[in-house]
Amino acid sequence: MTEIVNGSGSPGRNVLVTGGSRGIGRALCIAMSRDAECVALTYNSRSADAEETKSLIEEAGGRASIHRMDVRDPVSVGEGLNSILAAVGHVDVLVNNAGTNSDGLLFDMDEEKFTSVVETNLFGTFRLCRALAGDMMLRRWGRIINLSSVASGWGGRGKSNYAASKAAVNAFTRSIAIELARKGVTANAVAPGMIVTELTDAYRSLSGKELLADIPMKRFGTPEDLNGIVRFLASDAASYITGQVFVVDGGLSIN
């Protein structure tokens, strides 16, 4: 069995984090680099941010490579994966973090706005899992960690597209976990609550005080609050855990 670093790491293994240029993705890239042989991170349009993430990883003593990928586009996914596999050889840990939102009330929600969110959050996750799970099964070891949201369980005003996409990610994760389990590959989801990122800026500016009152810990989360659970799920220590959704929300969903 591979040695565990600080109880959570997987030395010598390669990690892919989609949407790793900023926010939660950047925090996960830096945290995962402590244990990984190399972290491959993807970005869509913000190359300077991706370069900054890479620099931060290297300053912390890790190795990283950056690759452009639009998870909504199957061609871009294929080209990005070719670039990643050429750089690192294979992927042991896949973290599907790339995500977006585009809020709007039902009667103002056009199909393009709905489809764009579902394409990114659900289809992007599907495309990466489908492309990499086969090799993980052949190698008889792999970790898939899909970023969901507490919105998958309780929705939200103007969030029908986002909540639906994340609920689907949960169901998708549970289903592939069953398919992959016998080959040593686990699949789990992590559902953050209100984390301070650009993605949540608008929602927090409109509803921040009311939402904060509902969080038992009385604070919003930081991207780094996700690091512990994701590093654990990527490790050998989590080898008997699959098909689960782990909520990280300061108690919001139980209040």
Per-residue pLDDT averaged across 229-246, rounded?
97
CATH of the domain at 119: 3.40.50.720
pLDDT of residue 49 exceeding 60, the answer is yes
Look at strands 14-17 and 38-43 and give their pairing.
parallel
pLDDT (tens digit, 9 = 90+) per residue, 79-131? 999 999 999 999 999 999 999 988 889 998 999 999 999 999 999 999 999 99
Least confidently predicted of 4-8, 20-24, 128-132: 4-8
Distant-in-sequence, close-in-space partners of 182: CB < 8 Å, separation ≥ 6: none
Give a yes or no: residue 9 inside a domain.
no
Q: Are 21 and 41 in contact (CB under 8 A)?
A: yes
Residue 123 lies in a domain: yes
Active-site amino acid positions: 162
213 located within any domain: yes
Percent of the chain residues topping a pLDDT of 90: 78
pLDDT tens for each residue of 53-76: 999 999 999 999 999 999 999 999
pLDDT at 7: 34
| In a domain? residue 223 | yes
Query: pLDDT band at residue 196, thresholds of 50, 70 and 90?
Result: confident
* pLDDT at 78 > cutoff 90: yes
Which pLDDT score is estimated for 37? 94
pLDDT given for residue 106 in this prediction = 92
The b-or-e profile of 114-125 (16+ CB within 10 A means b, else e) is: bebbbbbbbbbb
pLDDT for the residue 8: 38
The range of the structural domain enclosing residue 240 comes to 14-247
Q: How many domains does the chain have?
A: 1
- Domain-located, residue 21: yes
Give domain status of residue 1, yes or no.
Answer: no
What is the pLDDT, as a whole number, of residue 213? 86
Q: What is the pTM of this model?
A: 0.92
Residue of 84, 13, 25, 15 whose CA lies nearest to 50: 25
> Is 30 part of any domain?
yes
Query: Is residue 155 pLDDT above 70, yes or no?
Result: yes
151 lies in a domain? yes
- Cα 105 to Cα 162: distance, rounded to the nearest angstrom: 12
| Mean pLDDT, rounded, for 13-22 | 96
pLDDT digits (tens, 9 = 90+) for 198-237: 777 666 666 657 788 888 999 999 999 999 999 999 999 9
